[in-house]
Structure 1
Amino acid sequence: MDRNTPTERTPLTSLSESFERYLQDKGKGRGGDGGNYRRNAARELERFAEWAAGDDKNDGWTGIVPADVDRDPTFEDLDERVFREYARHLVGDRGLKQNTVQTYYRYISAWCGWCVNEGYLEAHYAQRASAMAPLPEDDGRKPGDQQAWTSEQRHALTRYVDERARDAIETYTALPEDADPLDRQRARYEALKAARDRALVFVLAYTAVRVGELLRDPNDPRRRGVRWEDLSIDDGSMDVYRKKQQWDAASLPDPVITPLRSYRQLMDPPTERWPVFSTFDQRTLAELVQEELADRGERPEAINERRDEFARDLLLVLNEDVRPPSITTDGARSILQRLSGEADIDIAHPKHDYLVPHGGRRGMGEVLVRAFGYTVAARYLDNSEEMVRERYSHIEAGELGDVATEALEQID
């Protein structure tokens, strides 16, 4: 069935009728047919459907349909008790590790939430406390604590955003002189967005700066996001407001310099007080333009005419020096979620299906500890050596294991 064809959603709709539509919404590529998430979600939805129908014959389990009814499971049969039983099934019947149980349940929970939004269900039963009660707590193992970008993931993401930015900038700069002004503006906007995303990814991937030190926190006015005046690109440093409540210099290693310099040249900010990572949210910028220009004495009709001259409000705020806010930490997560999906990066993590901002910091921590030891890594990460040793204790354990192996080989 075509994904745009309306479907009648009733309590008697079978569960399987919703699966393909859900997977298309979550899939990547043309028609939503690709992507790691779609593949993994499809597998778990199929297992859930078999369990709901009683097809797995597990200890006399007959499914969620009443015994005196002969039909496939429908949405009428779902409530929080069903999801509670499925949580028990994951915990006890398949011999899964604790974090794996959590991951598999999240696939079903995400589908349940989608069903609420689409009108199949009245409530998100899978997220109710009683439904989730049988699920295990995190087992405390290091891989399940926080995501760390692997070298392969870091290279895949940075390569993707670099190619994307190069293509967008080349498209913009290659336009003929007689190109339509609005077409030129649209191309510049796309180049700016791609260049901003590239600079953000490279900074997160290589500086190990905390995302809360880099971007705006709506709940903390001191954290307004780094501005161009905070950067010294030639010196390779950046002033950030650290977690320890004071300003400090962070390093900008070589891989970060070119993306930042290219982005700044393309943006050409009106003043040094502009945020490095400006929001591109259209609603936010539209409200900002209308309020700021009205404060400058312009009438609504004139403001609308002015906006019509620009393909995007971002270009108008640049032209009029209406300083926008920095993106927020939540905004960075949304950007990375989008980019991780577009790049189709393979992510096997119990908590996240995309590369989260803090994973870049932890990934660099892994690199630094392995290359230079805990003392140097602690300085770069702006942490105590004791904390770094605790968070990366798995590295030391592995190294000690190698030492023990070598010792045994020498003695034996």
Structure 2
Amino acid sequence: MTARGESTPLVETFERYLQDKGKGRGGEGGNYRRNAARELDRFAAWAAGDGGSDDWKGLAEGTDRDPTFADLDERVFREYARHLAGDRGLKGNTVRTYYAYVSAWCGWCVNEGYLAVHYAQRASATAPLPADDGRKPGDQQAWSPEQRHELTRHVDERAREAIEAFADRRSDGDGGDESGQDPLDRQRARYEALRAARDRALVVVLAYTAVRVGELLRDPDDPRRRGVRWGEIDLDDGSMEVYRKKQQWDAASLPDPVVAPLRNYRRLVDPPDDRWPVFPTLDRRTLGALVEEALADRGHRPEDIEAHRDEHARDLLLALDADVRPPSLTTDGARSILRRLTDAAGVSVDHAKHDYLAPHGGRRGMGEVLVRSFGYTVAARYLDNSEEMVRERYSHIEAGELGDLATDALEEIDGNA
């Protein structure tokens, strides 16, 4: 390690490391970058003496400088591993994951010449970490056929009722005075129909296409993932263009249970152009700020903007009328929706980590169906994964099938005895 490396404060290397690991232009995006940044900040605070035990004074105790690479050795990482493991609010695998972010940075520092040794990977450093609990991918949540049926039935009924309520109000007449209806009441009915139809479309896409939620919706930390738009969906061909995990655009299949809800939803939305998101956010604060800014940029005065907003029951409807394109729903937003819908549908969920039907559970549930029905090769193509990875993630299925074969063999032997 050079003298320059020894004297370099740890925090001065973080941004360059994160850029190397980030995605998109300038390495500014990506979930890994966000999570790594969070854990490095925690490590830096701990190294400076914050967040440790009462007797922990930090690596630069008695000085007025920030911790540098000269302060690091395997004993430091051992102490940090002990610090993470001592947080009783963290599960074992979570502790290992958090430590892995810091360890990866340490390895990068070796490659960049800041450190001569990858201290974080030494056995003595990792010894305090909790043992791997051996959790297999097959233990992760997968929507069962019963859960899928209950949730899709609920959103279908809810969408049908909302759309019918809107159609009834619309058929009563167009004029507020002549029909006796308040135009804003009809707009509220349309909004509820749009919301219910959007939620139904989201559920069936997650349930039947096996598309990753990050490929479908907006990721605030990755500018390339801005959510699927209507121009990227071909309902006649039954396909949808998505930006895959492998960092390229690719077509995903839309099976029959998905096409009709999407077609009905699009007819109801009637988007101004193909660049509109299929699953827009409905957050009131976001949409309110968006339409105000867009109309102001078009030269509207504040009082005119307020009048336009008063004429619409919801800002989403004003956005549609004024062709102000909203952002897509985020992945976190989808999780909130699924929590609400799981509860409203009364779906029973017994899982250690999730008390609702999480987005990835739809993909895994579809993977279960495909592996059991058509085997690993077909499932791998549909899931956009290698066959090797699919075999690993769904190894519990093969184990069960082999167990059945063994049982049949034993029964045949016993029968012939």
Q: Distance in 1 between matches of 2:409 and 2:211?
A: 39
Does 2:220 align with 1:226?
no
Q: Distance in 1 between matches of 2:285 and 2:260?
A: 30
Cα shift readout 1:311-340 (whole Å, capped 9, x = no counterpart): 000000000000000000001000001101
Q: Distance in 2 between matches of 1:304 and 1:350?
A: 48
Does 2:181 align with 1:174?
no
Amino acid at match of 1:383: N
User: What is aligned with 1:364?
Assistant: 366
Structure-to-structure mapping, 1:240-255, within 5 angstroms = 240-255=242-257
Cα shift readout 1:168-208 (whole Å, capped 9, x = no counterpart): 00000011112321010000000000000000000000000
Q: Which has the larger radius of gyration?
A: 2
User: What is aligned with 1:185?
Assistant: 187
User: What is aligned with 1:397?
Assistant: 399
3-state DSSP of counterpart to 1:370: helix
Q: Compared with structure 1, are the counterparts of its residues 138 and 238 closer, same or farther at alpha carbon in structure 2 (3 Å cutoff)? A: same
User: What is aligned with 2:347?
Assistant: 345
State whether residues 215 and 328 of structure 1, in contact with CA within 8 Å, keep that contact through their aligned partners in structure 2: yes
Amino acid at match of 1:277: F
Number of paired residues?
286
Cα shift readout 1:221-269 (whole Å, capped 9, x = no counterpart): 1111000000000110000000011000000000001110010000000
Does 2:380 align with 1:378?
yes
User: What is aligned with 2:156?
Assistant: 162
Q: CA deviation at 1:342?
A: 0.8
Q: Compared with structure 1, are the counterparts of its residues 252 and 353 closer, same or farther at alpha carbon in structure 2 (3 Å cutoff)? A: same
Q: CA deviation at 1:144?
A: 7.5
Amino acid at match of 2:218: R
Structure-to-structure mapping, 1:134-283, within 5 angstroms = 139-142=133-136, 145-175=139-169, 176-177=172-173, 178=179, 179-283=181-285
User: What is aligned with 1:118?
Assistant: none
State whether residues 138 and 144 of structure 1, in contact with CA within 8 Å, keep that contact through their aligned partners in structure 2: no
Q: Distance in 2 between matches of 1:379 and 1:169?
A: 36
Q: Compared with structure 1, are the counterparts of its residues 157 and 298 closer, same or farther at alpha carbon in structure 2 (3 Å cutoff)? A: same
Identity %, equivalent residues: 75
3-state DSSP of counterpart to 1:258: helix
Cα shift readout 1:36-77 (whole Å, capped 9, x = no counterpart): xxxxxxxxxxxxxxxxxxxxxxxxxxxxxxxxxxxxxxxxxx
Q: Of 384, 387, 390, which aligns to 1:388? A: 390
3-state DSSP of counterpart to 2:225: strand
Amino acid at match of 1:173: A
3-state DSSP of counterpart to 1:238: strand
Q: Compared with structure 1, are the counterparts of its residues 180 and 133 closer, same or farther at alpha carbon in structure 2 (3 Å cutoff)? A: closer
Q: Distance in 1 between matches of 2:86 and 2:162?
A: 47
Unaligned runs of 5+ in 1: 1-126
Amino acid at match of 1:170: E
Query: What is the TM-score with the length of structure 2 in the denominator?
Result: 0.67
State whether residues 209 and 254 of structure 2, in contact with CA within 8 Å, keep that contact through their aligned partners in structure 1: yes
Q: CA deviation at 1:138?
A: 6.9
Q: Compared with structure 1, are the counterparts of its residues 264 and 137 closer, same or farther at alpha carbon in structure 2 (3 Å cutoff)? A: farther
Amino acid at match of 1:203: V
Q: CA deviation at 1:344?
A: 1.4
Q: Distance in 1 between matches of 2:86 and 2:313?
A: 47
Structure-to-structure mapping, 1:286-297, within 5 angstroms = 286-297=288-299
Cα shift readout 1:279-320 (whole Å, capped 9, x = no counterpart): 111000000001101110111111011100000000000000
Unaligned runs of 5+ in 2: 1-83, 93-129, 174-178
Q: Distance in 1 between matches of 2:210 and 2:370?
A: 10
Amino acid at match of 1:343: A
3-state DSSP of counterpart to 1:174: helix
User: What is aligned with 2:100?
Assistant: none
User: What is aligned with 1:311?
Assistant: 313
Q: CA deviation at 1:134?
A: 9.0
Q: CA deviation at 1:411?
A: 1.3
Q: Distance in 2 between matches of 1:185 and 1:271?
A: 21
